[in-house]
Structure 1
Amino acid sequence: MRISLIFLLLLFIFFNCKKEDRKSDLYSTELVEVLGPKEKGLYDSLNVPANLRDEVKKISSFNYFDTGVLGHQNPNIEYATPFSEFEKLKKKATIKEIYQLTFNKNPVVTLYSYIEVADRIPKLTPLFYSRLLNLKKEIYSQNGCIIGDLPPSQIFYDEYLKNVNEDKQAKDLILRKLDSISIYGNNTTNYVLNQALRHRVYPEYFHNRLEELAFAKQNPYVLLYLTKHFREQYKDRLQKSIISYLEKTNDDSYEDFSKNTLILELMKFKNPDNKKLLEKLLENNFILKDDHEVNLLKKGNGITK
């Protein structure tokens, strides 16, 4: 009996050592076992060069976008991901071949290809961004532990933005073009629009579009932009639109940062006509209810409690 136990122990140690000796480039596809793409990826082999088909097929089968930053993974293991497969692809593909892949029917292959070509030929970045804005299909995306479905245009915009130093964002010529496209685009996400409005104050020829977004579409981020830079110019229209937006979203169950900021901005107009609405909005708002600045502004809005 003792011999059997010793033998089993030796076997256990042996196999565990063998397990540790495995090559560090062991592949794993456990990344999206629980959360991941909602559907199987389309493999479009048309016009794909023969030497790139393996990588394109693998990227298509993964059917999600990642940035090479994996959340909670063993750093000593090279995981098979779309990013790692595209890294292999671009090492053996010409720029012409990668550009050709921007027309691939798989949106993940398309997105990686657009990002790579734009990185090599930056002047094409605005053109590619405009094209991606027309792609309404969202892509499952992973950046470290940040996961979810995102429009390809937002991912592309973010990939460019993260390479521009914050102190240079206002003057970066390509980013200026991307931001202009974002303001006029019909499919721009609120995230990107908010980024674009943070970078600079826009000249007067943008005002018609900004007025449309703020007063016709009641976009909260454009409303905040106008309250920050053109409060006096639009004070009556701003109050009307902010009130309309806050009334419309009052029953939303989630806490929206922009909504709380808009309440604060509305209070800064110090208009007693807004008293009833503000009292209602503040009543159950645990974030703003006891806020110091809010309490200072109450009197100007006729709120005594």
Structure 2
Amino acid sequence: MKICRFGFLILSANFLFNCQKEKKVDYTDVIEVFDNTKDAVFDTVAVPQHLRSVVKQISGINTYETGVLGKGQEKSENFENFKKLTESASDDELVSLLNNKNKTVAVYASVGLLNRKPELLGEIFQKFLNLTTTIHTQNGCIIGDQNPAEPLYSAYYRSLDLKNVRTDSKLRKLDSLIIFNQNSPGSLLQEAFRYRIYPKNYRKRIEELAFNNHSMDAIRYLTHWHKGDYADDIQKELIAMIKNDSLSYNKKIFLSELLSFRNSENKEFILAYLKKDTLFSDDHEILKELESNGILPGEYPTK
């Protein structure tokens, strides 16, 4: 829920004072303690004796914690357990834990291997990305359920210097895996499209994501880099998204992208939408683009 930065990268400090429950695109204030222990899986059959205690502790809490403290927290228990695990486990033992039935344990093992076995990152990420299960996650006050690949991507991204994000070969590989996976979470697609310009042989897959899977991020990518090639299809998709999406934040993104085409043929739809939904009737960014779409002052509603 990029994320999810998917929705799950670096949190700004103000989140520490506004706890939220994250589930897909729905957010509510946290007013209770969420019990993630109810569906905990304990798998210590193949775990070495000296690691069983910490693996049980991680499994019992059953939440991948990044170490960023939430409101009222004095310590991040599972992040402390993660540090104990990496201090005690050998490289081979961490690799073995990737197959643990408790996927929180598996994700912590994968993060522990980032610096120790970096050559395994792509293989591990692909394996996690193919899973249909999710794990409970907590990053400060943001809690949610994510595919195991999401926190691994986040951990690797945070390990990079910002100046290297665009050029890092391993991150580029992860983004490629995200693009071509059939079930990549939206937060990961957002990350994959954020910094990349993909070669021509990616185009068919990006078209599929945009026009068959209705990926907002794929649409915005094509709008930004290949607007002329897909103008009609993009505008049709944006109109459909405005009609069907329930979130005002998303609607503004779609409307802004549609207005950027400066196409008077969209005038009737845009006017009808603004008259129906007056939320953006005084939005300066929206209003300044109306005339370029053939909509004159006095034709659109204002508050």
TM-score, with normalisation over the residues of structure 1?
A: 0.82
Does 2:194 align with 1:198?
A: yes
1:256 aligned onto 2:252:
no
Alpha-carbon distance in 2 for matches of 1:293, 1:217: 28
Alpha-carbon spacing, 1:298–1:161, altered in 2? closer, same or farther (3 Å): same
Does 1 or 2 have the higher relative contact order (CA < 8 Å, sep 6+)? 2
Residue in 1 that maps onto 2:122: 126
Distance 1:161 1:287 in 2: 36
Question: Residues of 2 paired with 1:111 and 1:68: CA distance?
Answer: 14
Summarize the Cα distance change of 1:38–1:243 in structure 2 as closer, same or farther, 3 Å threshold.
Answer: farther
Q: 2:141 aligns with which of 129, 138, 145?
A: 145
Partner residue in 1 for 2:282? 290
Matched position secondary structure for 1:256: helix
Instruction: Tell me the secondary structure at the aligned position of residue 141 of structure 1.
Output: strand
Aligned partner of 2:106: which letter? T
Alpha-carbon RMSD across the aligned residues, in angstroms, is: 2.0
The answer to whether 1:162 aligns with 2:161 is no
In structure 1, runs of 5+ residues without a counterpart are 1-31
1:104 alignment partner in structure 2: 100
Secondary structure (helix, strand or coil) at the match of 1:290 reads coil
Q: 2:292 aligns with which of 280, 288, 300?
A: 300
Q: 1:209 to 1:74 in 2, by over 3 A?
A: closer
Deviation at 1:147, TM superposition (A): 1.3
Alignment of 1:171-250 (within 5 A): 171-249=167-245
> Which residue type is aligned with residue 42 of structure 1?
V
| AA at the equivalent of 1:41 | A
Quickly say closer, same or farther: Cα 1:105–1:277, change in 2 above 3 A: same
Instruction: Please name the residue that 2:71 is paired with.
Output: 72
Number of aligned pairs?
267
User: What's the CA shift for 1:266?
Assistant: 0.8
Q: Which has the higher helix share?
A: 1
**3-state DSSP of counterpart to 1:149:** strand
Output the CA distance in 2 between the equivalents of 1:36 and 1:139.
13
Q: Aligned equivalents of 1:144 and 1:286: distance in 2?
A: 35
Are 1:64 and 1:108, in contact at CA under 8 Å, matched by a contact in 2? yes
CA distance in 1, matches of 2:37, 2:160: 33
Match of 2:16 in 1: none
CA distance in 1 between counterparts of 2:173 and 2:279 reads 37
Amino acid paired to 1:279:
L
The structure that has the greater radius of gyration is 1
The AA in structure 1 aligned to 2:253 is: T
Q: Counterpart amino acid of 1:84?
A: E
TM-score, normalised with respect to structure 2: 0.82
Q: CA deviation at 1:286?
A: 5.5
- In structure 2, distance between residues paired with 1:281 and 1:37: 42
Task: Give distance in 2, aligned partners of 1:33 and 1:56.
Answer: 27
Matched letter for residue 87 of structure 1: K
Q: Distance in 2 between matches of 1:159 and 1:190?
A: 17
Q: 1:280 to 1:162 in 2, by over 3 A?
A: farther
Partner of residue 51, structure 1: 50
Q: 1:164, CA displacement in angstroms?
A: 1.7
Residue 111 of structure 1 and its aligned partner are, at CA, apart by 0.7
Percent identity over the alignment is: 34
* 1:145 Cα deviation after fit: 1.4
Task: Identify the residue that residue 259 of structure 2 maps to in structure 1.
Answer: 267
SS at match of 1:119: coil
Deviation at residue 33 of structure 1 after TM alignment: 7.0
Q: Tell me the SS of whatever aligns to 1:70.
A: coil
Deviates more, 1:214-223 or 1:100-109: 214-223
- Give the whole-Å Cα distance in 2 for the aligned partners of 1:283 and 1:189: 34
Q: Assess if the C-alpha contact under 8 Å between 1:69 and 1:144 holds in 2.
A: yes
CA spacing shift, 1:74–1:195, aligned 2, 3 Å: closer
